């Protein structure tokens, strides 16, 4: 249904972003070369400039997408858990965040692990989006009113969730179980 882009443009752009996200997740921003991205996509490095103006622009697009995925997951959880009990609402959002990290491509995972290593210009461009997402969590934890120090708890909670990309294996572990463990850490057992 794209009006301005042909089918091919869209998919090439997509493949570049997919590939970059996966590589950045593994090696950090500085550890990934454009020639490496291009080779995996099946084009030459110079051809990347047909789709993006610079390496930084590719990386920034990857991070933005990563945040986008998180926010969509949040919105879905918010809709699904409307009117539910506080703990269930929290659990739904925890599960949604984990879903963003593991079930929608490497974008969110790349964002949370590699953002700190990105060049200053990229970080500064992305930081407002990051902050907005974190604000959603602060707001939720405060609103639920079952948590003593929402500020500190939010940071420890996001830390526990985000660091799971370092060790959790989607094929062997159970995301629902992980979500339950993390929810319990913040809220306590099923209340």
Partner DNA sequence: TTGCCTACCTAACGTTCGTTAGGTACGGTT
Partner DNA sequence: AACCGTACCTAACGAACGTTAGGTAGGCAA
**Site residues for a second copy per CB under 8 A:** 26-31, 113-114, 116-117, 148-149, 152-153, 155-164, 166-168, 177-178, 181-182, 185-186, 188
Binding residue for DNA, selected from 46, 84, 156, 170, defined by CB under 7 A: 46
The nearest distance, CB 182 to DNA, in angstroms, is 35
Binding residue for DNA, selected from 35, 121, 149, 173, defined by CB under 7 A: 35
162 binds, among a second copy, DNA, none (CB under 5 to 8 A by kind): a second copy
Residue located via tokens 């703990």? 87
Of the pair 106, 150, the CB lying nearest DNA is at: 106
Binding residue for DNA, selected from 44, 121, 139, 173, defined by CB under 7 A: 44
The nearest distance, CB 25 to a second copy, in angstroms, is 9
The nearest distance, CB 158 to DNA, in angstroms, is 29
Residue located via tokens 């599960």? 95
Structure token pair of residue 43: 């084009």
Of the pair 5, 26, the CB lying nearest a second copy is at: 26
DSSP string, 147-171: -S-HHHHHHHHHHHHHGGGGT--TT
Structure token pair of residue 145: 């009113």
CA triplet 125, 33, 169: central angle to 5 degrees? Answer: 80
The nearest distance, CB 69 to a second copy, in angstroms, is 19
Instruction: Evaluate whether 22 touches 41 at the Cβ level (below 8 Å).
Output: no
Residue 115: how many CB atoms within 10 A of its CB? Answer: 19
Long-range CB pairs of 1-5 (<8 Å, 24+ gap) are none
Residues forming contacts to DNA in the complex (CB under 7 A) are: 5-6, 8-9, 12, 32-36, 38, 42-51, 53-56
């Amino acid at each position: 249904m794209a009006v301005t882009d042909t089918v091919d443009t869209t998919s090439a752009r997509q493949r570049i972003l997919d590939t970059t996200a996966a590589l950045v997740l593994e090696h950090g921003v500085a550890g990934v070369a454009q020639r490496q991205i291009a080779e995996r996509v099946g084009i030459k490095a110079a051809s990347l400039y047909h789709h993006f103006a610079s390496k930084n622009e590719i990386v920034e697009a990857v991070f933005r997408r990563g945040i986008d995925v998180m926010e969509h997951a949040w919105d879905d959880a918010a809709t699904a858990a409307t009117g539910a009990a506080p703990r269930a609402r929290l659990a739904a959002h925890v599960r949604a965040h984990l879903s963003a990290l593991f079930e929608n491509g490497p974008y969110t995972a790349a964002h949370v692990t590699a953002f700190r290593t990105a060049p200053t210009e990229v970080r500064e461009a992305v930081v407002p989006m990051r902050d907005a997402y974190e604000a959603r969590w602060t707001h939720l934890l405060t609103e639920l009113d079952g948590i003593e120090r929402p500020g500190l708890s939010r940071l420890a909670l996001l830390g526990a969730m985000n660091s799971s990309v370092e060790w959790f294996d989607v094929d062997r572990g159970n995301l629902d179980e992980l979500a339950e463990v993390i929810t319990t850490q913040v809220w306590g057992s099923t209340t």
